[in-house]
Amino acid sequence: MQFDSFASFLDMGGYAFYVWLSFGASAALILLLIFSTLFSHKNARANIARQVKREQRLQQAQAQANVSESTSQ
Amino acid sequence: MSSLSYRQTFALVLKRDLTIAFRHKDEMLNPLLFFIIVVTLFPLGIGPQANTLAKIAPGIIWVSALLATLLSLDRLFKADHNDGSLEQMLISPQPLFIFTLAKITAHWLLTGLPLILVAPILAALLYLPEQSYSALFLTLLLGTPVLSFMGAIGAALTVGVKKGGVLLSLIVLPLYIPVLIFATSAIDTASLNLPYNGQLAIIAALFFGSLTLAPFAVGAALKVSTN
Amino acid sequence: MWKWLHPYANPEVSYHFAGKLKPWLGLSSALLLTVGLIWALLFAPADYQQGESFRIFYIHVPSAILSMSIYLAMAIAALSSLVWQVRLADASAAALAPIGAVFTAIALLTGAAWGKPMWGTWWVWDARLTSELILLFLYLGVIALHNAFDDKQMAGKAAGILALVGVINLPIIKYSVEWWNTLHQGPTVSKLGAPAMASEMYWPFVLCFFGFALLVGAVACVRFQTEIITRNKMRPWVRNLVTSEVN
The tens digit of pLDDT for each residue in C160-187 reads 899 999 988 888 888 888 888 776 654 4
pLDDT at site C150: 83
Alpha-carbon dihedral sign for residues B9, B12, B15, B20? negative
pLDDT mean over C227-237:
84
Q: Is residue A57 part of a domain?
A: yes
- Tell me if B220 and C161 make a contact (CB, 8 A cut-off): yes
| Residue partners of B60: CB distance under 8 A and separation at least 6 | B39, B42, B126
User: Which among C10, C3, C162, C193 has a CA at the least distance from the CA of C93?
Assistant: C162
Residues of A in contact with C115 (CB under 8 A): none
Boundaries of domain holding A49: 6-72
Per-residue pLDDT tens digits for B23-42: 888 878 888 999 999 999 99
Question: Which among C41, C116, C229 has the least Cβ separation from residue A45?
Answer: C229
pLDDT at C193 over 70: no
Percent of chain B with pLDDT over 70: 99
Q: How would residue C196 be classed by pLDDT, with cut points 50, 70 and 90?
A: low
- Tell me if C161 and B221 make a contact (CB, 8 A cut-off): yes
Percent of chain C with pLDDT over 90: 24
Q: Is residue A28 part of a domain?
A: yes
pLDDT at C191 over 90: no
Nearest residue of B to residue C157, measured between CA atoms = B224
Question: Which among A13, A33, A41 has the least Cβ separation from residue C99?
Answer: A33
CA distance C27 to chain A (A): 14
- The HSE-up count of residue C163 (CA atoms within 13 Å, CB side) is 38
Q: How many CB pairs below 8 Å do chains A and C form together?
A: 97
Identity of the amino acid at C159:
A
Q: What integer best gives the mean pLDDT of chain B?
A: 88
pLDDT at B84 over 90: no
Q: Is residue A46 part of a domain?
A: yes
Q: Is residue A35 part of a domain?
A: yes
Q: Is residue A66 part of a domain?
A: yes
Q: Is residue A30 part of a domain?
A: yes
Instruction: Supply the ipTM of this predicted assembly.
Output: 0.85
Task: Tell which of B74, B147, B161, B188 to mutate to test the C interface (max C CBs under 10 Å).
Answer: B161
pLDDT at A35 over 50: yes
Long-range contacts of B204-212 (CB under 8 A, 24+ apart): B204/B142, B206/B142, B206/B143, B206/B146, B206/B178, B206/B179, B206/B182, B206/C172, B207/B142, B207/B143, B207/B145, B207/B146, B210/B145, B210/B146, B210/B149, B210/B150, B211/B145, B211/B149
pLDDT at site C192: 47
Runs of H (alpha helix) within chain A = 6-11, 16-72
CB-based contact (8 Å) between C167 and chain B?
A: no
pLDDT at C31 over 90: yes
Runs of H (alpha helix) within chain C = 11-38, 57-83, 87-119, 127-148, 152-183, 199-231, 236-243
Q: Is residue A52 part of a domain?
A: yes
CA distance C162 to A31: 28
Q: How would residue C8 be classed by pLDDT, with cut points 50, 70 and 90?
A: low
| C172: region left, alpha or beta (phi > 0 left; psi from -120 to 50 alpha) | alpha
Q: Is residue A1 part of a domain?
A: no
CA distance A53 to C239: 10
CA distance B61 to B35: 8
Per-residue pLDDT tens digits for C68-84: 999 999 999 988 888 87
pTM: 0.87
Number of domains in chain A: 1
pLDDT at B16 over 70: yes
Nearest residue of C to residue B205, measured between CA atoms = C172
Per-residue pLDDT tens digits for C113-126: 888 888 788 887 87
